[in-house]
Amino acid sequence: AQSVSQHNHHVILSEAASLELGCNYSYGGTVNLFWYVQYPGQHLQLLLKYFSGDPLVKGIKGFEAEFIKSKFSFNLRKPSVQWSDTAEYFCAVSLTSGTYKYIFGTGTRLKVLA
Amino acid sequence: DAGVIQSPRHEVTEMGQEVTLRCKPISGHDYLFWYRQTMMRGLELLIYFNNNVPIDDSGMPEDRFSAKMPNASFSTLKIQPSEPRDSAVYFCASSYPRGSGEQYFGPGTRLTVT
């Protein structure tokens, strides 16, 4: 069965530190990849997405992610985090054929200390 | 566009009562998804519809849960009878998948069953 793994469940950083959140998926076919953010008490919002083309994707708020097909990975990065980035981050995969449903990772809670 | 609309935003009910959650997807979107989010289990897909037809309800926890989509602009998720373990945030999302399948999430309904 397809699955998505986010290895870091909780991350605590100081402001201006660099961030990298891991995401790996298990599926041999073609996928679309997403990162969503959920600020405290709010709904999920799309940070960035990858369908095809340049494997380095830039999203909102200075976030970027790199798709490495050989590693089945789609890691999220930000060079310098801010206190306002405190949130939960979800990686999601959708298959490009058959179904459009997401397979979500378990999420990573990021806390940025001011 | 107003985005995905959910009502009510908060619901507190007693065990055994019927609960109905409502969702209005973004106009023109032909996929609709219902999710449940809890601390213990994370984000779970309950059911999704395509063109008002249920496609996959394998995530519905038990017969107490039912979902309908009578038309393209309205869906309900019903729990009857409700139990304390149903307490969670329920999200609705919609998508227009030609090309990407990106999902747009509603603000959620926080359900508390006492």
> Per-residue pLDDT tens for A46-103?
999 998 899 999 999 999 999 999 999 999 999 999 999 999 999 999 877 666 788 8
Q: Is B2 a residue whose pLDDT tops 90? A: no
A102 touches chain B (CB under 8 A): yes
Distance from CA of B80 to the nearest CA of A (A): 25
B 29-88: CB under 8 A from A? 31, 33, 42-43, 45, 48, 50, 55-56
The token pair at B66 is 């039912």
| Cis-peptide, bond into residue B8, ω within 30° of zero | yes
A72 touches chain B (CB under 8 A): no
Residue among A7, A4, A18, A33 nearest A77 (CA): A18
Q: How far apart are CA A36 and CA B77, in angstroms?
A: 24
Q: Are A59 and A35 in contact (CB under 8 A)?
A: yes
Average pLDDT over chain B, rounded to whole?
93
**b/e string for A57-73 if b means 16 or more Cβ within 10 A?**
bebeeebbbbbeeeebb
Residue among A103, A38, A37, A99 nearest A72 (CA): A103
How sure is the predictor about B23, in pLDDT bands with cuts at 50, 70 and 90? very high
Backbone Cα Rg of chain A:
14
